[in-house]
């Protein structure tokens, strides 16, 4: 990985990283909602 990525490639990676973070936030929020909605069985 000696050569620097082209601006287009860099932009694509930035968008991908942002999408992954957004995805993680949604999953965490969903997990919290699920825990709150479903009381423990015991």
- pTM reported for the whole predicted model: 0.61
| Rounded Cα distance, 40 and 3, in Å | 53
DSSP string, 3-28: SPPPHHHHHHHHHHHHHHHHHHHHHH
Structure token pair of residue 17: 């990283």
Which pLDDT value is given to residue 2?
Answer: 67
Residues of the chain with pLDDT under 70: 1-2, 40, 42
CA distance 12 to 6: 10
CB contact at 8 A, 13 and 5 = yes
Residue 32, H or E segment: helix 7-37
Query: In this predicted structure, what is the pLDDT of residue 15?
Result: 98
């Amino acid at each position: 990985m000696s050569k620097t990525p082209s601006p287009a490639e860099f932009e694509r990676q930035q968008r991908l990283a942002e999408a992954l973070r957004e995805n993680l936030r949604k999953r965490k929020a969903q997990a919290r909602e699920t825990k709150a909605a479903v009381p423990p069985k015991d």
